[in-house]
Amino acid sequence: MTLHELPCEQRTLHGYFSPDLEPVLEIEPGDSVRISVPNAGWQLSREEQFVAKTPELDTGHPIAGPIAVRGAKPGQTLTVRVDEVAPGDWGVTYSGERHAVHWALTEGVGSALGRELDLAPFLGVLGMPPPEPGIHSTIPPRRWGGNIDCKELVAGTTLYLPIPVVLASVGVDLHITQLVNEALGVHAELRDDAFR
């Protein structure tokens, strides 16, 4: 297995899904990729905005890729294991048009407004483009992933794209993921020990 790096650069980032994009990286099954991206608003810090390569198209969340997996074919299930999610040293929560809470993040703790909370960083947007040509928004979650916003998608979890439904009715627990982003989100959680 090989560890690849996708740095936070214009050539590796875009703000939409599209099957028409050329891969920026090709890997073998089982390889790992370390990805670095700005926050959902394309910010690198409270004071620094990342400049997208094509601002007129890059209107959604910044996503890295595409990454091609050698031998992968349409109709197969892509297995993505999340080994680590490492946040930067700051964060922001928007809670209205002009209101933002800015967080200092350090050693697994977020601090803001005189309060602290334990961090549990997760991947908000992760997926493949829909098979239809053209440009697709990063906002709604789809069968192929996308803006999943599943707080259980943390280090040590595995995501299957598209999600397999064999035996799901007897072994899967369903949880509400989100009530925003133009679609209701429900995620299926299958424990490693569900079937013996």
The predicted-structure confidence for 111-165, as pLDDT tens digits, reads as follows: 999 999 999 999 889 999 999 999 999 998 888 999 988 888 999 999 999 867 6
Residue 181: the pLDDT is: 65
Q: In which domain, by residue range, is 59 found?
A: 3-86+121-189
Contacts for 80-84: CB closer than 8 Å, 24+ residues apart: 80/126, 80/158, 80/159, 80/160, 80/161, 81/157, 81/158, 82/123, 82/153, 82/154, 82/155, 82/156, 82/157, 82/158, 82/159, 83/32, 83/155, 83/156, 84/155
Is the domain of 50 the same as that of 140? yes
What value does the mean pLDDT take over residues 53-82? Answer: 94
Is the domain of 7 the same as that of 53? yes
Q: Which of 99, 120, 141 is the last residue of a domain?
A: 120
Q: Assess if residue 155 is contained within a domain.
A: yes
Residue 177: the pLDDT is: 76
Residue 195 has pLDDT above 80, yes or no: no
Q: Assess if residue 149 is contained within a domain.
A: yes
Task: Band the pLDDT of 194: cuts 50, 70, 90.
Answer: confident
Is the domain of 135 the same as that of 113? no
Is the domain of 145 the same as that of 49? yes
Is the domain of 169 the same as that of 105? no
Residue 151: the pLDDT is: 86
Q: Assess if residue 161 is contained within a domain.
A: yes
Is the domain of 148 the same as that of 138? yes
Number of domains comprising the chain: 2
Task: Band the pLDDT of 170: cuts 50, 70, 90.
Answer: low
Q: Assess if residue 21 is contained within a domain.
A: yes
What value does the mean pLDDT take over residues 59-74? Answer: 94
Is the domain of 70 the same as that of 132? yes
| Mean pLDDT, the chain, whole residue set | 89
